[in-house]
């Protein structure tokens, strides 16, 4: 039988001791849908008490990774997941008790009341009736939902539904929380409330895995960021490190006065790493001085007036775009070869 070699396998004793703190270890995660490879040979681990963000464009494989982790999809034969040191294949349904999952869209039963949802969820996780009552009361009070206890879930607003999801996820007191776009579509007050709750849960020792499109949110709350593109992790670093790594890069913002011909647009796009939206131009630059000089030269040659020129440090959002673009370029070059 062919021996499977896991990318994250650690043989060194000291390293093994460090790895003991890992609550999630994922090896060679792969998922195909027919010809489509949604996740390809992805390996990562998450330490206890960390908040790890998975970032990536649509179709990057974030949700598929979560679904593989939570058992919605079956693992391929060469993939392996360990939760709290246990191979999930050994106990496929019981390991799920370690997770509390907060989805992007509320998945509480809409015809059930808040209390019925809590009772159902607690029962499924094998919690006694008394404990369900006690914990529900505590959680619903903590999240300001106690006055809605007998309201049907379908009558709640999106923000309240998301709070209910958080209560449902925490009811069985899981050590790991998985949040899929938890603040998507919420108003700023609810976003702030959710963010504070996530940080509070981290303080309580919960390990949190979060998928998000919101770079600012990731920058604020994550200890580590995994950037995914086309099913692969292309970066696995702390937000600070990522920003430091790309410190040498800058963003140049400017506008062009008057009509811009198609030819000029083509020249701009071919000369610089540039994007345009409603007359606002964004140039991702590795050498701002040279790029500004070239831009000035071009404006003289083409007789165009550049206005509102601004130079900005790279945000995590721009790091993300840099990485995705670099990854795409690399892939294009590879396929051309």
- By CB under 8 A, name the binding residues for other proteins: 33, 35-38, 58-59, 63-64, 67, 70-74, 92-94, 96-97, 99, 101, 103, 105-112, 116, 120-121, 123-126, 230-231
Q: Closest approach of Cβ 299 to other proteins, in Å?
A: 37
Nearer residue to other proteins within complex by CB, 121 or 249:
121
* Cβ proximity of 225 and 218 under 8 Å: yes
Nearer residue to other proteins within complex by CB, 78 or 195:
78
Q: Closest approach of Cβ 34 to other proteins, in Å?
A: 9
* Cβ proximity of 190 and 166 under 8 Å: no
Distance, C-alpha 84 to centroid of its chain? 21
Nearer residue to other proteins within complex by CB, 64 or 251:
64
Nearer residue to other proteins within complex by CB, 67 or 213:
67
311 CB-near residues (< 8 Å, 6+ apart): 250, 251, 252, 253, 288, 292
Nearer residue to other proteins within complex by CB, 34 or 258:
34
Nearer residue to other proteins within complex by CB, 49 or 59:
59
Q: Closest approach of Cβ 141 to other proteins, in Å?
A: 23
Q: Closest approach of Cβ 189 to other proteins, in Å?
A: 24
Taking the CA atoms of residue 202, residue 203, residue 205 and residue 208 in that order, the dihedral angle to the nearest 10 degrees is 0
Nearer residue to other proteins within complex by CB, 6 or 73:
73
Distance, in Å, from the CA atom of 32 to the CA atom of 18, rounded to the nearest integer, reads: 32
Nearer residue to other proteins within complex by CB, 135 or 230:
230
Q: Closest approach of Cβ 24 to other proteins, in Å?
A: 15
Helix (H, G, I), strand (E, B) or coil at 260: coil
Distance, in Å, from the CA atom of 316 to the CA atom of 119, rounded to the nearest integer, reads: 41
Q: Closest approach of Cβ 218 to other proteins, in Å?
A: 21
Q: What is the largest CA-CA distance in the chain?
A: 79
Distance, in Å, from the CA atom of 330 to the CA atom of 318, rounded to the nearest integer, reads: 18
The DSSP 8-state label assigned to residue 152 in this structure reads B
Q: Which two tokens stand for residue 298?
A: 């071009």
Q: Phi and psi dihedrals of 72, rounded to 5? A: -70, -40
Q: Which two tokens stand for residue 136?
A: 């529900």
Q: Closest approach of Cβ 71 to other proteins, in Å?
A: 7
Q: Phi and psi dihedrals of 224, rounded to 5? A: -145, 150
89 CB-near residues (< 8 Å, 6+ apart): 75, 80
Q: Which two tokens stand for residue 241?
A: 């490190």
Determine how β-strand 250-257 pairs with β-strand 232-237: unpaired
Q: Closest approach of Cβ 36 to other proteins, in Å?
A: 5
* Cβ proximity of 222 and 210 under 8 Å: yes
Nearer residue to other proteins within complex by CB, 17 or 94:
94
Q: Closest approach of Cβ 275 to other proteins, in Å?
A: 20
């Amino acid at each position: 039988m062919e021996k499977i070699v896991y990318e994250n396998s650690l043989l060194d004793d000291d390293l093994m001791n460090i790895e003991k703190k890992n609550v999630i270890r994922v090896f060679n995660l792969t998922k195909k849908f027919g010809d489509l490879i949604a996740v390809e040979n992805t390996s990562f681990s998450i330490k206890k008490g960390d908040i790890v963000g998975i970032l990536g464009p649509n179709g990057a494989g974030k949700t598929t990774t979560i679904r593989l982790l939570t058992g919605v999809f079956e693992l391929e034969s060469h993939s392996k997941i360990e939760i709290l040191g246990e191979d999930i294949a050994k106990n496929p349904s019981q390991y799920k008790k370690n997770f509390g999952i907060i989805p992007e869209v509320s998945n509480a039963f809409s015809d059930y009341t808040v209390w019925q949802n809590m009772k159902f969820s607690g029962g499924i996780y094998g919690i006694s009736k008394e404990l369900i009552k006690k914990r529900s009361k505590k959680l619903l009070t903590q999240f300001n939902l106690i006055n809605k206890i007998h309201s049907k879930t379908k009558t709640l607003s999106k923000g309240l539904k998301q709070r209910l999801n958080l209560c449902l996820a925490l009811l069985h007191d899981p050590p790991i929380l998985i949040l899929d776009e938890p603040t998507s579509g919420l108003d700023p007050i609810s976003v702030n409330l959710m963010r504070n709750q996530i940080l509070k849960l981290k303080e309580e020792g919960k390990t949190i895995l979060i998928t998000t499109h919101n770079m600012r949110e990731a920058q604020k709350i994550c200890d580590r960021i995994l950037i995914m593109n086309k099913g692969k992790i292309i970066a696995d670093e702390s937000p600070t490190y990522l920003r430091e790594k790309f410190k040498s890069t800058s963003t140049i913002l400017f506008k062009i006065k008057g009509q811009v011909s198609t030819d000029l647009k083509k020249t701009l796009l071919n000369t610089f790493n540039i994007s345009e939206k409603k007359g606002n131009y964004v140039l991702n630059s590795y050498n701002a001085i040279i790029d500004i000089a070239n831009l000035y030269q071009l404006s003289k040659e083409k007789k165009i007036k550049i206005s509102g020129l601004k130079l900005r440090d790279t945000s995590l959002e721009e790091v993300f775009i840099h990485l995705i673009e670099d990854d795409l370029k690399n892939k294009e070059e590879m396929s051309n070869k």
